[in-house]
Every structure is written in C-alpha cells, then in structure tokens.
Amino acid sequence: MKTYLDCLPCFLSQALRAARMATGDEKKIKDILDEVGMMLRDIPLESSPPEIGRLIYHKVCEMTGNPDPYRKLKTESTKEALSLYPALKNKIEKSEDRLYTAIKIAIAGNVIDVVANWNFDIRHDVDQALNKDFAICDYKEFKKRLNEAREVLYIGDNAGECVFDRILIEEMKKPTTYVVRGAPIINDATYEDALQAGINKVATIISSGTDGPGTILGICSEEFKRVYEHSDFVISKGQGNYEALSNEKRPIFFLLKAKCQIIARDIGVTEGDILLKGMFSRRASEHGSQDADEKTQRENAA
C-alpha cells in the first residue's frame, strides 16, 4: 500500500505517542515533533507507511536515547493476553467450528494495539471482536488451501497478539513458522515477545530481519526472504504487514482489523471492520485464470 496524504498527520500523532512513551521531557518531545515535521518533506508517497513509520520511530529512539519505548507495555500486554488464554481455549472447546473460532480469536488479538487505539480495554475489545462479523471472510478458501499446504508461514504483528495467534496455530495443526520483527519497533512482537507468549511451544520462531513496523521485503534478511518465497501458505497479521505486503503478487491471507479510514478505504471496507482476505494473484496468473480465481474469492466472502 502506498502512503496517502492522510497518513502524514498520523505519522506526527504516532511520533507524539512514541515520544511520550520514551520520555517525560516536554521540551524534548516538541523537538522530536519539529524534526518529524521537517522529515515530511523527504517522504515519497510511493513508500509504504511502515517504511516511513520506521524512520520516524528511529528518530524518536535516537533523540530520546530510548531504544525500546514500548518494552514495558509490550510485556504487560502479553501478560494480560496470557491471562485470557484459558478462557479463549474454552471458547474453542465449546465452538461448533474450532478453526473458524480460532481465526476469530486471532483477529480479536489484533485489537491489542496501543498505537492505533490508545485507550483500550482488552477484555471488552476482545469480546466485541469475537461477536463481530467479518466484512470479508475467505474462510472456505482458507480452509481448502490450509488443507493442501505443507506448512504455514505466520507473520505476526503486535506483542500480546501473539497469544491469540498461538491459539490459531494450535488449531491449524500444520508445521508453522512464526515471524517476528528483527528489532524493537513500536509495540510490534520481537523474539522475546513471541517467547513470552509461548509461541515456541507451537511453532518455530524466526525474524524477518527488518526493524520496520511491517514486513518491508526490501530490507528483510535474505534468510527470511527464502523462507517466504518457498512458503505455500502465508498468513499476514495486522495493518503494518498489510501495508507492506498488499502489492505482493503471491498468495497471502491477510487477517486484520482495519483500524483507520485510509486502510479501510484501500481494502474497500469500513473503519473498524475485521477481515480474512485472501489474495491469490500469482497463482491466478500462473494458471491464467485470474477471473475465475476472483470469482471464487467473492463466493467465499461471508
């Protein structure tokens, strides 16, 4: 996804939140906003939002000398999410369709985003997401392709959310590789966060090698890119990964809540909508049947 003009004020808001996380010094925060204001001029709108977000967060870290402003919050998010784990597993036990319920739980985990949603109540928001219908739901296709897949590449998003991802991984019953960011960036999950969430018990954790808030392939490690290229079933969680991968010409299932109007418009849904959206362009063009494939996609939409 390209960067829209509407993203520019949002970058400034994000810088303000991160700066406040990193320091209590108002003067320093003003200096950071001044610097970020001046950075806007050098932002090409052709870049994806995570590419720009990366530069802005690095500026905040550099100017405050705090390399991981969200550390404490991330640990607390995971702790709180873990406290919900038994109740969520219980929901799976009681459900008619375990896989579908696990997908709903994974999307509910995507609400844990203190960056897009500053004042959130985790239990309330999770319940709300579980009761919410998907705006786009390519579930049949998801199930079919999952069935045929050798293994799953699961690209994680935020800390805390990992706990919810773990539940989906447990229900997919396929060998899974779970991808985290290569370095701390906002509240995104790193190796440490995935480990705290117990992902290591259900999947192999690898790093994308990027320190951006999304899987920016241009700066991912060669190792990750090899895994990504050879994977036959990819799940991409959250906005940052969608923004970075939405133009990819390969099959990917995007699982996210559209947390802002801009991303919602880009996808063709409404702000706040949740979706499981399959993109299968490469396979379609490989088989010379894009139209048929798009038709299948629409039929799968709930």
DSSP summary character for residue 234: E
- Radius of gyration for the alpha carbons in the chain, expressed in angstroms and rounded: 19
Q: Which stretch binds a second copy (CB under 8 A): 1-9, 139-147, 166-174, 224-232?
A: 1-9
**Residue 16 or 217 with smaller CB distance to a second copy:** 16
Residues 6-35 that bind a second copy (CB under 8 A): 6, 8-10, 12-13, 16, 26, 29-30, 33-34
DSSP summary character for residue 201: G
Are the C-beta atoms of 217 and 225 separated by less than 8 Å? yes
**Residue 39 or 219 with smaller CB distance to a second copy:** 39
Tell me the C-alpha distance between 86 and 127, whole Å. 14
Q: Which one among 37, 67, 175, 218 touches a second copy, defined by CB under 8 A?
A: 37
Contact flag: residue 260 with a second copy (CB under 8 A): no
Contact flag: residue 271 with a second copy (CB under 8 A): no
Question: What is the SS3 assignment for 28-68?
Answer: HHHHHHHHHHHHHHHCCCCCCHHHHHHHHHHHHHHHHCCCC
**Residue 35 or 80 with smaller CB distance to a second copy:** 35
Residue type, 269: V
Contact flag: residue 39 with a second copy (CB under 8 A): yes
- Number of amino acids touching a second copy (CB under 8 A): 20
**Residue 53 or 156 with smaller CB distance to a second copy:** 53
Closest CA to 137 of 284, 250, 274: 274
Tell me the C-alpha distance between 239 and 17, whole Å. 18
**Residue 34 or 294 with smaller CB distance to a second copy:** 34
Q: Which one among 5, 65, 93, 131 touches a second copy, defined by CB under 8 A?
A: 5
Contact flag: residue 41 with a second copy (CB under 8 A): yes
Contact flag: residue 65 with a second copy (CB under 8 A): no
Tokens of 180: 């985290």
Q: Which stretch binds a second copy (CB under 8 A): 39-47, 84-92, 147-155, 180-188?
A: 39-47
Contact flag: residue 55 with a second copy (CB under 8 A): no
**Residue 30 or 79 with smaller CB distance to a second copy:** 30
Are the C-beta atoms of 14 and 56 separated by less than 8 Å? yes
Residue type, 192: E
**Integer CA distances (angstroms), 161 to 76, 114, 144, 166, in order:** 12, 11, 25, 9
- Provide, rounded to whole angstroms, the least separation between the CB of residue 226 and a second copy: 37
- Provide, rounded to whole angstroms, the least separation between the CB of residue 16 and a second copy: 6
Tell me the C-alpha distance between 284 and 67, whole Å. 43
Residues binding a second copy (CB under 8 A): 5-6, 8-10, 12-13, 16, 26, 29-30, 33-34, 36-41, 45
